[in-house]
Amino acid sequence: MKKTPFLTLEQVREIEKTYPTPYHIYDEKGIRDNIKRLQDAFSWNKGFKEYFAVKATPNPFLLEIFRDMGCGLDCSSYTELMMSEKLGVTGSDIMFSSNTTPVDEFVYASKLNATINLDDFTHIDFLEKCAGIPETISCRFNPGGIFTISNTIMDNPGDAKYGFTREQLFEGFRVLKQKGAKHFGIHSFLASNTTTNEYYPMLAKILFELAVELHDETGADIKFINLSGGIGIPYRPEQDPADIYEIAEGVRKAYEEILIPAGMDDVAIFTELGRFMTGPYGHLVTKAIHQKHIHKEYIGVDACAVNLMRPAMYGSYHHITVLGKEDRPLDHKYDVVGSLCENNDKFAVDRMLPEIENGDYLVIHDTGAHGFAMGYNYNGKLKSAELLLKEDGSVKMIRRAENPKDYFATFDFCDILA
């Protein structure tokens, strides 16, 4: 599959007149169309709701798109709850899924009447003491062991810090009922960034069977099953994307085989997708500013790991397009690097690209989730602007670039820049 940017060289040159590189830019039409596909794929379930994972791209202008299209928000911190409330998102439109949760976060989530998704058995008493047990509550399940989808895709729930064991979940439902909970949800997350179409149906089967057992043994009224996230995107051109329609059909079959015969045909299906919803619809646009010819060939760009840390942190692959040179041969081998005092500050290593000259614009693909959000300020570097390519083709700044005053604002001494 060829990766084609949603921006042209002409558009970037025009943007440069107002917003210098580097910047993250998001494709509004792409995001909206993807939300529509997800909702259409799961339309067989009357209660279906997507709770966009705020941590993936915590920008209120983007969150407003999800709100406008009937989605909820998945929050995991105090400030994410604040952002949601500011947008008018409260109550059951918020799923609060956190871990090692401080008191003030549970109190705030309770104040907003958010649906709280408990991560640990001990959090039941903790929540009761600080905020009370709500009538509707969810619990996160961790089955332990190794979760295997195929020979190449697996994850290790047994090594993850999240969730209740099976025994704790049954006891937790009983205890929560005694403390006043009336309606329940089940949540689980067993694999990350998988493009296989098998993951959600396999997870659904596990959770649907668990839901029937919980209902039968504890009498709990299970209102929803949250499949969480985990559906990934094809970062590499040779990867096939996940087919959300095939995924949803697999979940539907499991629903009809397990829940409907058990008389649980009113259970809503929730998702908490982040990367899948916005990842492909974000680019980091940067400019080549240096070339270095030593033991290897280097292209230095004006972005660095501060703007996108995934390659430095995980060795993750992000495809790169040199705008205006899309059809030229990939006959030059480069490391594409930033300016941090860290040797892992590399967007690409030994990447075959067309010949690059200073001033060329590079599009780094698939930065629409866990891109800007994971930014930091090492070396005193400042975070870039975020822009939105609107459906009408215009460009709107949705977060300005940081400046030195932002960097120094939290120091408790006289203004350095006064």
Distance from chain centroid for Cα 140: 18
Is the predicted pLDDT of residue 127 greater than 80, yes or no? yes
Which residue in the block uniquely carries the two structure tokens 């329940």? 184
Which tens digit of pLDDT belongs to each residue from 66-97? 999 999 999 999 999 999 999 999 999 999 99
Model-level pTM?
0.94
What is the pLDDT, as a whole number, of residue 152?
Answer: 43
What is the pLDDT, as a whole number, of residue 153?
Answer: 43
Residue of 151 and 327 predicted with greater confidence: 327
Residue 334's DSSP bridge partners are 351
Which tens digit of pLDDT belongs to each residue from 268-293? 999 999 999 999 999 999 999 999 99
Superfamily holding 27-279: Alanine racemase (3.20.20.10)
Fold of 9-24+280-408: Lyase, Ornithine Decarboxylase; Chain A, domain 1 (2.40.37)
What is the pLDDT, as a whole number, of residue 147?
Answer: 61
Peptide bond between residue 58 and the one before it cis (omega within 30 degrees of 0) = no
411 contact partners, CB below 8 Å, separation of at least 6: none
Where in the sequence numbering do the catalytic residues fall? Answer: 341
Which tokens in the block code for residue 326?
A: 């899309």
Which tens digit of pLDDT belongs to each residue from 237-266? 999 999 999 999 999 999 999 999 999 999
Where are the domains positioned within the chain?
9-24+280-408, 27-279
71 contact partners, CB below 8 Å, separation of at least 6: 35, 49, 50, 51, 52
What is the pLDDT, as a whole number, of residue 168?
Answer: 96
User: What string of DSSP letters covers 37-56?
Assistant: HHHHHTTTSTT-EEEEEGGG
